[in-house]
Each structure stands twice: as C-alpha cells, then as structure tokens.
Amino acid sequence: MAARRFSRQREQIYQAVCAAKTHPSAQMVYDDLKKDLPKLSLGTVYRNLHQMAEEGTLVELDGPVARFDAITVPHTHIQCERCGGVRDVDLPYDPELDRMAERAGGWTVHGHSLMFCGICPACAGEST
Ligand SMILES: [Zn+2]
Ligand SMILES: [Zn+2]
C-alpha cells in the first residue's frame, strides 16, 4: 500500500494539479498527462484524485464536474458560466460570515468556502 500511495503516477497527477491554476477536472489532468504517460487511464486519474481529496492532500470542489485544487486552505473561487473554468479570487477570508451562519442556524460553524459565478475575461472577450 505504501508503495502505491507514493507511486510515480500519483506524484505526477498531484504535480499536474499543482501546476495548473485552473482547478482541473480528472479529464483535464488526464489530457495533460497522457502524452507523457501513455499507459495512464482516466479511471486511474480519477481514483488517485479522489484518494488525495479524502486524505486532504487536495480539495475537491463540488460542481457539475468535480474539480481539484492543490491549495487546501479555505479560499474563494469564481466559476465561469460559459466555459466552466474555475479560478481563485483574491479576497480575504471573512470570519464574520461564519458567525452569521451560526446565528442563523444554531450550528457550530468551522468554516466556509465561497463560489462566485460569472463570465471570465476570455469568454467576455469572445462575445464582443
Ligand atoms: Zn469562461
Ligand atoms: Zn482554488
């Protein structure tokens, strides 16, 4: 098991997520790596990404297609409604939102993640 956990493939999958600033989906990681790793299958990429998300090495972002982020501290995202691209938004974490959620629902809140939606600069450029 230990040998599998730190397999070369897995390391390359992890590095691909780190290198991409786009919060890639399994398909995007697979497309990125298959030229170097012809034996790689989409299923293997999927399995490794899920495993790393469960261990906390990566964060899995919910959406129509699961996307993966190498930055595991809470931060804010924005998703393009046209191309589906996900980027980080440089906003400070707002602990007041956590307190507001606690007051609203009676929960003990440990944190939140935000996902904005809109049109990315590239798609906005296309439409004009
Ligand atoms: Zn876009
Ligand atoms: Zn992110």
Domains: count for the chain:
2
Instruction: Say yes or no: 12 and 51 in one domain.
Output: yes
Question: Which CATH number does the domain housing residue 11 bear?
Answer: 1.10.10.10
For residue 123, the tally of other CB atoms under 10 A from its CB is 15
Asked if 62 and 14 sit in the same domain, the reply is: yes
Q: Are residues 14 and 33 both part of a single domain?
A: yes
- Give domain status of residue 89, yes or no: yes
Which ligand ends up closest to the CA of 125? 1
Ligand showing the shortest atom-to-Cα distance for residue 123: 1
Task: Please classify residue 105 by burial: count the beta carbons closer than 10 Å to its beta carbon, then call 0-12 exposed, 13-18 middle and 19+ buried.
Answer: exposed
Q: Is residue 128, in this structure, part of any structural domain at all? A: no
Range of the domain at 106: 76-120
Residue 125 located in a structural domain: no
Ligand 2: centre distance to CA 76 (Å): 7
> pLDDT (tens digit, 9 = 90+) per residue, 94-124?
999 999 999 998 899 998 888 899 999 999 9
- Per-residue confidence (pLDDT) for residue 65, from 0 to 100: 87
Query: Structure pTM?
Result: 0.78
